[in-house]
Amino acid sequence: MVNLDRPELFLPLKQGRQVILSTAQLGIPADGKTLCTERLQQAIDRLGREGRGTLVLNPGTYLTGQLWLRSGVELHLQQGAQLLGAADPYLYHQVGALTDDGRHDNACMALIVAQNAHEVRITGQGTIDGNGTALALAADSLYHLGKLTDAHYNTRRLRPSELVRPKLVYFTHCDGVTFLGIHCKNSAGWGLSFQHCSNVMLQGVNMENRAYWNNDGIDLSDCRHVLVSDCKVNAADDGICLKSYDVHGGCEDVTIRNCEVRSSASAVKFGTASWGAFRRIHVFNLTVFDTFRSAIAIESVDGALVDSVTVEHVRAFHTGNPLFIRLGHRSGARVGSVSHITVRDLVCEVPFDRPDLNYDLRGPEVDFFHNPFPSSICGIPGHPVRDVIIEDATLVYPGRASKAMAYMPLWRAHDVPESPDSYPEFSMFGELPAWGFYLRHVDGLTLQGVKLSLREADYRPAFVLEDVADVKWKAVEVPGNMKNQVYIVH
């Protein structure tokens, strides 16, 4: 018999070596005002010593600083339970250097951290709330009072750097990571961040990360054997982002499926950190809304080897750019490579106005006049993007280009800058002479069943090609005469 009114009376229960503890049984305050970091950590550590166990957070709000999740431990948040991050920056501590590339682009601390752990789980229908706006503003105030060191404070945009703004979750060098059904929101920095982790499953996670600038949704850095499934992401920076900081590492065998993304940057992005590799990546059944930059951005600019990437069944509405594929050489000893990319069944509508018009944290607009940007596939001289297939794509562009706004005539198309060491972005080349696709330094391109259309007229051609070899056109549709919609730069 089980007393359903007082289930905590039956905790802890030993199921083999499994121990179940609950916050109600342990008497941990859930008033949202009492700091309970120490008592939560003691419970997690006790389960860790047992080798396996679950800490159940019963309904209520648990105010806490940084927590360490141990091997074999599951954190289960019941519906109505909320883990709330304290707004005191001194309660969060660096785990270790994420990267030695010198860019210092994110923090190594979080509300929940795990390092060198195995079989760790966060499950349930409860909420993890980083209280990020208050936490980031507290760090900003402490910096201006001279009480917090921030060597990379952003003086141009008047905000503390990513190094002093804790993430929501940061797991490094972990094997066997599971997130199921959890609601996550309001980090001071990146949301769910995994570095050098393997056998990772994120399923049914709702990630809303719009509490501050540069707030990515989900970041996978040098991770292998990953499944991101049935997740919703609403992020004030990139939605789902694959990164590689380790020249000998990379993201490999990653599947992203049945996800919905809103972003004031790009929905699914490879990079910008791109030192090692991105191999065998499969993205399918992706829905994108109100996204300022690209629906899909695949970038290698630090030497990464990108190979065997398939993106299919994408629906992108009110998105600034359908597709951006870039091989550059910003840093790193080697020039990377981008090859064997298949994009299939892509439907995207690009608005004339800002696609993130209703976002409170809108993406930073470029500081030059321009007409609507096309999709781009660009390598650099001597290093082309290779073997790209775009199949069954329906792309709707706004048109309304004006020569008075910006003008890159076809006779000057060779003046578009190469910018091999620039930050990769679909707007990086400035005004472009095409409205549909700008293709440069590509070897092996198949366009099959590609349909491009305009809401209003555009004086530019649909396609501009420069240094592009082995192009196969099959059932490509454009407004008007196809001959007048393709221009080859000589």
Give pLDDT tens digits for 106-164.
Answer: 889 999 999 999 999 999 999 999 999 999 999 999 999 999 999 999 998 899 999 99
For residue 384, count CB atoms less than 10 angstroms from its CB and return exposed for 0-12, middle for 13-18, buried for 19 or more: buried
Please say whether the dihedral angle defined by the alpha carbons of residues 229, 344, 291 and 269, taken in this order, is positive or negative. Answer: positive
- The CATH architecture of the domain made up of 17-489 is 3 Solenoid (2.160)
Work out the pLDDT band at 97, boundaries 50, 70, 90.
low
Residue 329 pLDDT > 80: yes
User: How many Å apart are CA 191 and CA 181, to the nearest integer?
Assistant: 15
> Which pLDDT band, with edges at 50, 70 and 90, does 14 fall under?
very low
Q: What is the share, in percent, of the chain residues with pLDDT greater than 90?
A: 89
Read off the pLDDT of residues 52-81 as tens digits, 9 standing for 90 and up. Answer: 999 999 999 999 999 999 999 999 999 999
- pLDDT score of 189 more than 70: yes
Residue 452 CB partners (closer than 8 Å, separation 6+): 395, 397, 436, 437, 462, 476, 477, 478, 479
pTM of the full structure: 0.94
Task: State the Cα–Cα distance between residues 263 and 248, nearest whole angstrom.
Answer: 30
Q: In the prediction, which pLDDT does 124 show?
A: 98
User: pLDDT class for 185, splitting at 50, 70, 90?
Assistant: very high
pLDDT given for residue 363 in this prediction: 80
The DSSP element (H or E) to which 33 belongs, if any, is strand 31-35
Query: Band of the pLDDT at 10, cuts 50, 70, 90?
Result: very low
125 in Cβ contact with 181 (< 8 Å): yes
How far apart CA 264 and CA 143 sit, in angstroms, is: 27
Rounded Cα distance between 310 and 307, Å, is 10
pLDDT of residue 103: 62
pLDDT on residue 4: 45
Residue 210 pLDDT > 90: yes
Q: Which residues contact 41 (CB under 8 A, 6 or more apart)?
A: 67, 68
417 pLDDT higher than 70: yes
- Classify the phi-psi angles of 345: left when phi > 0, otherwise alpha if psi is within -120 to 50, otherwise beta: left
Distance of CA 318 to the CA centre of its chain: 18
Mean pLDDT of 286-290: 96
Under the banding of pLDDT at 50, 70 and 90, the label for residue 98 is low
**What pLDDT sits at residue 172?**
96
